[in-house]
């Protein structure tokens, strides 16, 4: 190896020469290499299972290919289709609508819940509330979605409840209703993500300096003012994390929608994830599906990067 064969450096104790001694450079080279060695166990799977598929997707997106037979190079044709055809743009629009349910509601409600829970004395009730709120995170999404299918069905719990309070007139098959299906699947997302956001935000609140709350109270601040002046600014990073995670969940949503509506009725709940799956595995248009995936990735990055910059900004 290079280390062993490196020429001896200048005598020990001699003042460091302005030029880099060969020995030092050899050692630092070795150090640099050994650094890579530590990263290797993580880097290899990352390259194999993240970078390689990513690059392959980019390559596939330039071809017209059914996954098995011969592929034809079509250049940017697939991207033109994705960015100009209405069929491909509608799902992207739905993904942005889902941000309301996957991000705005969970983060908003999460903030309120976290602030309320923070004020609670530790005890059974507080623990129970946290467990209940976090439970949706533990249940596999597919199982949760199946359960929600029952809740939303014609004779499901939701309609039974509505009928019981005299609202029988508004009952419907929620997931099959053109006007309500997106709201219905969106609320499943809110239910899943509220727990995650609340937990993250509670952790964040507990890190805020208690003296700030004391100071606010001495200044005569009420709970609302305290929340606005102390809690909210103190949680900027946590909110950033919540927003990032949930926006990705909204834009790249797949499982909830695949299990509950498969994009229907009509195309009311079709999202890019389901569209990509269908193009790739049902229609076997690997090229168009890959182009869709690349566009989706770019879109997610485009939305996420400003959020990251804002939440990581130093004051």
Partner 1 sequence: MFIDGSCPRPLGRARASGAWPGVAVAAVLAVTAACGAPGGGSTSAATAPSGSAASTQLPSAPVTLNFYLETGFPLAQKLVDEFHKQHSNVTIKVREDQFAVLTQNAPRVMASADAPDLIRLPTIVDSAKDGLLANLDGYATAYGWDKYSSGLMQQLRVGADGTRGSGPLYALGIGYNVTGVFYNKQLAAKAGIAQPPATVDELEADLAKAKTAGVQPIMQFNDIGGINFPYQDLLNQYEDPAKIADWVFNKPGATLNTPAAVKAGDQIAAWGKAGYFPKDANALDYTTMMARFTKGDGLFMFNGDWESQNLEKAMGNNVGFFLMPPATAGGKYVAMCAPGTYAIPAKAKHPAETAFFLNWVHTNPEARKIIVDTNGASPGGPPSLPIPAVRPGSVVEQTLKASQTLSKSGVAVDFTANATSGIYAGTIKPELQSLITGRQTGAGFAEKLQSAYEKELKR
> What is the C-alpha end-to-end distance of the chain, expressed in Å?
48
Segment (H or E) for 311? helix 286-312
Q: Which is nearer to partner 1, 62 or 196 (CB)?
A: 62
Q: Which is nearer to partner 1, 154 or 160 (CB)?
A: 154
Beta carbon of residue 278, minimum distance to partner 1 (angstroms, whole number): 6
Beta carbon of residue 30, minimum distance to partner 1 (angstroms, whole number): 11
* Distance of alpha carbon 291 from alpha carbon 297, whole angstroms: 10
Q: Which is nearer to partner 1, 2 or 211 (CB)?
A: 2
Task: Report which of 134, 132, 157, 161 is spatially closest to residue 147, judged by C-alpha positions.
Answer: 157
Q: Which is nearer to partner 1, 35 or 108 (CB)?
A: 35
Q: Which is nearer to partner 1, 21 or 267 (CB)?
A: 267
Residue 72 bridge partners (DSSP): 64
* Distance of alpha carbon 74 from alpha carbon 63, whole angstroms: 5
Q: Which is nearer to partner 1, 33 or 310 (CB)?
A: 33
Beta carbon of residue 86, minimum distance to partner 1 (angstroms, whole number): 12
> Interface with partner 1 by CB under 8 A: which residues?
33, 36-37, 39-40, 43-44, 47, 51-52, 55-56, 58-60, 63, 65-73, 152-154, 172-178, 261-267, 270, 278-279, 281-286
Q: For 247, what's the count of Cα atoms within 13 Å in the CB-facing half-sphere?
A: 19
Q: Which is nearer to partner 1, 243 or 274 (CB)?
A: 274
Task: Report which of 67, 79, 131, 84 is spatially closest to residue 285, judged by C-alpha positions.
Answer: 67
Task: Report which of 167, 108, 165, 141 is spatially closest to residue 260, judged by C-alpha positions.
Answer: 141
| DSSP states of 131-165 | HHHHHHHHS-HHHHHHHHHHHHSTTSHHHHHHHHT
Q: Which is nearer to partner 1, 195 or 263 (CB)?
A: 263
Q: Are 185 and 175 in contact (CB under 8 A)?
A: yes
Beta carbon of residue 140, minimum distance to partner 1 (angstroms, whole number): 17
Beta carbon of residue 40, minimum distance to partner 1 (angstroms, whole number): 6
For residue 123, give every residue at least 6 positions away whose Cβ sits within 8 Å of its Cβ, in sequence order, or none.
none
Beta carbon of residue 254, minimum distance to partner 1 (angstroms, whole number): 14
Beta carbon of residue 37, minimum distance to partner 1 (angstroms, whole number): 6
Beta carbon of residue 293, minimum distance to partner 1 (angstroms, whole number): 15
Phi, psi for residue 103 in degrees, rounded to 5 = -120, -60
């Amino acid at each position: 190896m290079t280390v062993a064969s490196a020429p001896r450096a200048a005598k020990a104790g001699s003042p460091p020469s302005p030029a880099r001694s060969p020995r030092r450079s050899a050692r630092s080279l070795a150090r640099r290499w050994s650094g890579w060695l530590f990263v290797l166990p993580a880097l290899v799977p990352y390259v194999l299972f993240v970078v390689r598929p990513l690059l392959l997707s980019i390559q596939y997106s330039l071809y017209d290919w059914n996954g098995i037979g011969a592929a034809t190079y079509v250049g940017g044709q697939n991207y033109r289709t994705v960015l100009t055809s209405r069929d491909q743009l509608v799902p992207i629009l739905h993904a942005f609508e889902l941000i309301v349910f996957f991000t705005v509601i969970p983060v908003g409600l999460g903030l309120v819940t976290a602030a309320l829970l923070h004020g609670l004395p530790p005890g059974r009730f507080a623990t129970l509330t946290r467990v209940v709120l976090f439970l949706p995170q533990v249940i596999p999404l597919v199982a949760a979605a199946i359960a929600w299918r029952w809740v939303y069905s014609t004779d499901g719990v939701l309609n039974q409840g509505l009928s019981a309070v005299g609202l029988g007139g508004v009952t419907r098959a929620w997931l099959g209703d053109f006007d309500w299906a997106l709201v219905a699947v969106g609320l499943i997302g809110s239910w899943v993500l509220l727990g995650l956001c609340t937990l993250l935000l509670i952790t964040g609140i507990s890190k805020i300096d208690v003296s700030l709350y004391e100071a606010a109270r001495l200044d005569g601040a009420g709970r609302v003012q305290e929340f606005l002046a102390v809690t909210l600014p103190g949680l900027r990073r946590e909110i950033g994390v919540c927003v990032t995670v949930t926006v990705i969940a909204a834009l790249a949503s797949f499982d909830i929608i695949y299990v509950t509506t498969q994009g229907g009725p009509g195309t009311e709940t079709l999202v890019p994830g389901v569209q990509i799956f269908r193009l790739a595995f049902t229609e076997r248009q690997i090229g168009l599906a890959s182009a869709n995936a690349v566009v989706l990735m770019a879109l997610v990055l485009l939305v996420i990067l400003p959020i990251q910059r804002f939440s990581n900004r130093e004051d």
